Amino acid sequence: MNRRISKKIFIGDVPVGGDSPITVQSMTKTDTRDVKSTVKQIMDLVKSGCEIIRCAVPDMEAAKALKDIKKLSPIPIVADIHFHHELALESLKSGVDCLRLNPGNIRDRTKVAAVVKEAKIRQTPIRIGVNFGSLPPVGGIGVSKGISRHNDGVNLLSKGLSDNEYSVVDHMVQTGLWEIGILEDLDFDLIKISLKAFDIDTTVESYRKMAKLVPYPFHLGITESGTAKSGSIRSSIGLGILLYEGIGDTIRVSLSDEPTEEIYTGFEILKSLDIRKEGAVLVACPSCGRADVDVRKLANDVDDLLKKTKTSIKVAVMGCEVNGPGEAKDADVGIAAGVGRAIIFRKGQKSKIVPESDMLTELMNEISKVEQEKNLPTS
Ligand code: SF4
């Protein structure tokens, strides 16, 4: 796939855009004012591979707490700001690595400009985070007074099937462009953009449209996508379409679940598209009447054990000896269950036969061996 050319910026020490790896990020679900719990959640996320973390900033206490969180976090911190630009100013003082501003609910140009001025002094990037759920009223982009947010007319906009009418996609893009314009007028270009909606078509079309207009890196996401099951599917489709088209520089999967689940899904999306290669890819057969083992349990056990693996390795869990090794012949290592025993194989070739009671341990041992071989320095 041809990746969209975007400007490279740095969130802390993590590059985003240009030729940088597409990063996976999440958001803490703790109360940001509770530094201990927030840092603990960040540490758990770091173990899962999270590369950038965002924290909600609902009030001044949270903005000030970011100072301690920042000191203890091994990954860059993004302050998530809505409504009050003062929270952005305080978060900058706390030393955050990036701000997320919502152009739907901070619509006063002078307030945005005040934040940009301070961000520029510190060279702190700003993500312009457009969100369908908090778009400005139609006709009210950049208008901060006199329009009700609850009667915004956004739901009356068309989906954008006709070029002749102003659609919800246009409204998303125009909202982003309004704030981009303010930043550019102030000669500030450490910009990242997101255009999230729950609907896949709105999201995809908004990013596609914006991709033709600006050079800045994109943070991709499907907002409020749902539970670990439904939300992972929705996010995979939405993000998958864009990533396959080369659009996107960092991703966040929003799930009503543990944030570590968001990281897991994010990496699975990137691995499925062959965009990020580190970590294990699990090939598992769906099981059928030929299966000699509980494939579902075995596959899930192996998947759990593989979560810590950093090496790029393809592992197969197959339910029968007859078809298993052949069907998974491109796996680096795999297991095919038989009656009371299992075949461990590499690239479809039998490596050894082990008793069923030991098959999980033996498979993990074989995986460790393959990992060691892969990680040997090449001369
Ligand atoms: S590998 Fe064997 S058990 Fe699994 S789906 Fe194929 S035939 Fe069925």
- Domain ranges in the chain are 9-272, 280-375
Report which residue type is found at 297: K
Same fold, 9-272 and 280-375: no
- Tell whether the model's pLDDT for residue 379 goes beyond 60: no
Report which residue type is found at 103: P
320 within ligand 1 shell (Cβ under 6 A): yes
**pLDDT tens, 170-221?**
999 999 999 999 999 999 999 999 999 999 999 999 999 999 999 999 999 9
288 within ligand 1 shell (Cβ under 6 A): yes
285 within ligand 1 shell (Cβ under 6 A): yes
Closest residue by Cα to atom 8, ligand 1, is 288
Find out if CATH 3.30.413.10 is the number for domain 280-375. yes
Pair of tokens at residue 22? 């597409």
Interval between CA 33 and ligand 1 midpoint (Å): 51
**pTM (two decimals):** 0.91
What confidence category does residue 152 fall into, taking pLDDT thresholds of 50, 70 and 90? Answer: confident
- Tell whether the model's pLDDT for residue 370 goes beyond 70: yes
Interval between CA 299 and ligand 1 midpoint (Å): 13
CATH for 9-272 (1.10.10.10, 3.20.20.20, 3.40.50.20, 3.40.50.300): 3.20.20.20
325 within ligand 1 shell (Cβ under 6 A): no
Mark out the alpha helices in 198-320 (DSSP H runs): 200-211, 228-244, 259-272, 295-306
Residue 291 burial by CB count (10 A; 0-12/13-18/19+): exposed, middle or buried? middle
CA 58-64-70 angle, 5° bins: 105
Question: What's the residue count for the chain?
Answer: 379
287 within ligand 1 shell (Cβ under 6 A): yes
Q: How far apart are CA 181 and CA 304, in angstroms?
A: 46
105 within ligand 1 shell (Cβ under 6 A): no
* Nearest partner of 295 among 330, 232, 332, 338, judged by Cα: 338
* Angle subtended by helix axes 359-375 and 295-306, to nearest 10: 40
